[in-house]
Amino acid sequence: MPELSDPIRRFAEIFAQVQRVVLPESTAMVLATASAEGRPSARVVLLKGFDESGFVFYTNLESRKGRELAMNPFAALCFHWPPLEQQVRIEGRIAQVPDTEADAYFASRPRGAQIGAWASRQSRVLATREELEARVKAVEEKFAGAEVPRPPFWSGFRVIPERIEFWQSRISRLHDRTVYVRQNDAWVMEKLYP
């Protein structure tokens, strides 16, 4: 693939290839956050959209990642697609998506996932599985016969990219690495040693 001066367009082309390969959870990405003290944590989340303004995922705002993003509004993402031998790393500032965008996405989720968003006290200690099942049952009863609204503690975040790196595997571990760094309103592209 020829290198493009626009990293979002380049990501879109790679992502289209990924969709054609039909990988399980092709939207999976590692999300790294850090506490106010700079202690990192990472987990896999799903990409729910991307465009020039950034890369979007959703979560419980009271979860560990939600709390860390409130304290330290920067994050890193990493996609790895082994069949294509490609990886994309994204770093940037975080912004919460507008309520209208979060509402629209929440409404598109399966009802079970909507119920689960209300029932889960994400990242908090759970004494027994029965406790979670009781919370699910209570939420199902509360919204029986009605649409499930988005919880006020659940929303999306957009990683606004400041740095995007593309990695392509090569023989003898002499990988191709290209990094794009946002400077003012333009992207500066550089090659990196493997």
Q: Which candidate, 25, 7, 47, 41, places its Cα nearest to that of 188?
A: 7
Write down the pLDDT at residue 129.
94
Residue 57 half-sphere exposure, CB side, CA atoms within 13 Å? 24
| Structure confidence at residue 2 (pLDDT) | 54
Q: How confident is the model at residue 174 (pLDDT cuts 50, 70, 90)?
A: confident
Whether the predicted pLDDT of 187 surpasses 60: yes
Active site residues: 173
Q: Is 21 exposed, middle or buried (0-12, 13-18, 19+ CB in 10 A)?
A: exposed
Mean pLDDT confidence for 62-73: 96
pLDDT value for 5: 87
pLDDT at residue 3 greater than cutoff 70: no
**pLDDT value at 99 more than 60:** yes
Q: How many CA atoms lie within 13 A of 185 on its CB side?
A: 0
Dist. CA 92–CA 77, nearest whole Å: 9
Q: What is the mean pLDDT of the chain?
A: 94
Which pLDDT score, from 0 to 100, does residue 171 have? 87
Domains, the chain, ordered by start: 7-101+154-192 (2.30.110.10)
* pLDDT band at 96; cut points 50, 70, 90: very high
HSE at residue 178, side-chain half, CA atoms within 13 A, is 15
Rounded mean pLDDT, 110-123: 95
